[in-house]
Chains A and B, each alone.
Chain A
C-alpha cells in the first residue's frame, strides 16, 4: 500500500472518538479488505499523543510519550516498566525496578492525587513524571457509556519547569454522542507559560481547569441563544404553523428574496 494511503489510515485513526478505537480499526481493515494489516505503529502514535489508560496489575496507568524510556513505558506508582500490545491494548513484559523518588515528587504526587480524586468522578487517573529539569503531570478521566450512545474523555497535560517555575500545558475534552446520528464536541485550551510557586501548583491547575470548564458552559449558552436559535426558529414569528397548499401564496415574502444573502 502506498505511503499516501497509509497516511489516510493514520488520519482516520487519529480522529477516533474516545473508547471506539477498536471499531475504527476494524472498519478500516474491512474497507481495505486486509485483515492482516498491521496498524500498531499508527495506534501507538495516536494513543501516546492523546494519552490512554492501560490496565496494569490491579490498577490502571497512563501511557504517553513522556513516560516512555527506550521501548518501555514506566509506571512510577507501582515502579513497573512494561511494553504494550497495541493490537489487544494490554500491558505485557512487566518488569519491576528500584527507584528512589524525590521528596518533591512524593509531595506533589500526593496533592495531585487528592485533587484528582475530588474533581474527576468517572474512570480517572493522574500520573507524575520527574525529569532532570521538570515535572510532567497528566490527568485523564474517561466516561464510556455506549448503551446510552455516548463516550467522553477529559485529558490535561502540564509541564512545570523546576528552575524558572513556569508551568505550561493543555486541556482537551472530546465527547462523542451517537444516538440517531453522529455529534462530536471537541474543545481545548492551552496554558501559556505562567509563573507558579511549587507548593501552589496543584491549586493553580484546579483554578485553571475550573475556569476552562465554566467558560465552556458559558459559551454553550451563548451558542444556544445567539446562534442555534437564529439558525431556525421553533415557530414562525406569528407562532402559527404554515398554511400549506394553494393559499400559501397569501404569505408575503419578507425583504430577503428567494435565495437570500445570509449564507
Chain B
C-alpha cells in the first residue's frame, strides 16, 4: 500500500459530493482493496442505528464498537448479534466510566438535541485507566417532518486522554459534524450536504476518572457550539454569497446605479 494512494483517497473524498460519501468510499475500496481498512477507519460517514435487544434501546454504531459483523451496545455491553469469545470489552473500571459517560451525554443530548440518539464508547490505551484512555462520542438527529424537506445531523468526536501528572491531563479531540439538508419544494431540488472537521487539544486539571468525563463533556459542548456556528455560516452564508457571484437577480446596470446613489448619499451626508 502506498502513502500517496492513501493521501489521494482522502483528497478525492474531500472533493466528491459528500452526499454520496458511502458510495465513493466503497468504490475507492474496490479500486484499491489494500487501502480499504485504513480508509474505512479514517473517514466519517453518517452513523447507522442498531437496536439493543437486551435494553430495548437504540444505539449508534461505528468502527470503534465493531467486532466482525457485531456491534457492542453501550447500554448493555452486549454485542449484537453475539460476537466471538475474544471480542474486545473495556476493562471493568473503564466500563463503569463508560456507563457514566453514556448517562451524562444522554442528558446533554436531551438538552441540546431534544430527540436523537447518543452513544459513547471507551477503550483502554494504558494498563491503568488512571494514566489515560480513549473514546468516541456519537450523536445523531434527523428531521423528516414534511415530505418535501429533510435534515440530518451526525456528530463524531474521537478523543484521547493522556495524563501528564496526578492532576493534569491533555485532551485531544477530532470532531466532525456531518450535516445533510434537502429541499424538494416547487419542483426544484436542493441538496446542501457535507461536513466540517475541527481538531482541539487542551490541557486541563482533573480529580478522578469521572472528572475526565466532565472535562470531555464541556470541551465537546464548546466544540459543537463553534462547529454549529461555522456550519450555519458556510451552509447559509457562504453558499448564498457564491450564488450571488454566479448570477444576480438585479441587472448589473441597476446594481451600479444603486451603488452610485448610495455613494452620493454618503457624500451628501458627509458634506452636511
Q: What residues make up the interface of A, taking CB atoms closer than 8 Å to B?
A: 5, 8-9, 11-12, 15-17, 20, 23-24, 26-28, 30-33, 117-122, 141-143, 150, 152-154, 173, 175-190, 209-210, 212-217, 219-224, 226-228, 230-234, 236-237, 241-242, 244-246, 248-249, 251, 253-254, 256-263
Expressed in whole angstroms, the Cα–Cα distance for A237 and B113 within the complex equals 11
What B residues does A9 contact at CB under 8 A? 31
Q: Which of these, B58, B106, B239, contacts A183 with CB under 8 Å?
A: B239
The distance from the CB of A25 to the nearest CB of chain B, in whole angstroms, is: 10
In the complex, A259→B186 CA distance in Å?
A: 35
| Sample (30) of A-B pairs whose CB atoms are under 8 Å apart | A5-B30, A11-B23, A24-B16, A28-B31, A30-B8, A33-B5, A119-B248, A120-B248, A121-B245, A143-B245, A152-B245, A177-B194, A180-B198, A181-B234, A182-B14, A183-B239, A210-B249, A213-B249, A216-B243, A219-B183, A219-B185, A222-B149, A223-B190, A230-B143, A233-B111, A244-B218, A251-B107, A256-B115, A260-B116, A260-B117
- A223 near B111: Cβ-Cβ < 8 Å: no
Could you tell me the distance in whole angstroms from the C-beta of B9 to the nearest C-beta in chain A? 6
Residues in B with CB closer than 8 Å to A233 are 111-114
Residues of A within 8 A of B242 (CB): 143, 150, 152, 175, 177, 185
Cα distance A143–B144 when bound, in Å?
Answer: 33
B30, closest chain A residue (CB):
A8
B53 to chain A: which residues have CB within 8 Å?
none
In the complex the two chains form, is B228's CB within 8 Å of A232's CB?
yes
Count, A-B residue pairs, CB within 8 A: 304
A12 contacts B243, CB within 8 Å? Answer: no
User: Cα distance A261–B251 when bound, in Å?
Assistant: 49
Q: Which residues from A are CB-within-8-Å of B186?
A: 215
Instruction: Determine whether B75 belongs to the interface, using a CB cutoff of 8 Å to chain A.
Output: yes
Of B87-95, B127-135, B209-217, the one contacting chain A is: B209-217
Determine the chain B residues whose CB is within 8 A of the CB of A189 once the complex forms: 187-189
Q: Which of chain B's residues has its CB closest to A247's CB?
A: B214
Inside 8 A of A185's CB, which chain B residues have their CB? 190-192, 239, 242-243
Rounded to whole angstroms, the CA-CA distance of A236 and B221 in the bound complex is 11
Contact A187 B228 (CB under 8 A): no
Cα distance A119–B191 in the bound complex, in angstroms: 24
Q: Which residues of A contact B5 (CB under 8 A)?
A: 30-31, 33
Given known contacts A17-B15, A258-B57, what 18 new A-B pairs fall within 8 Å (CB)? A24-B16, A118-B252, A180-B196, A181-B195, A181-B196, A183-B196, A183-B239, A186-B17, A217-B243, A224-B232, A233-B111, A244-B217, A245-B211, A249-B103, A251-B110, A258-B106, A262-B115, A263-B142
Closest residue of chain B to A246 (Cβ to Cβ) is B210
Interface string of B215-248 (1 = CB under 8 A from A): 1011001001100111110111011101101111
Set A16, A120, A212, A231: member contacting B188, Cβ < 8 A: A212
A183 touches B112 (CB 8 A): no
Contact check, A117 vs B252: say whether CB atoms are below 8 A apart. yes
CA distance A232 to B176 in the complex (A): 14
| A-B complex: 6 closest residue pairs judged by Cβ atoms | A262-B115, A183-B194, A259-B57, A227-B151, A181-B196, A30-B8
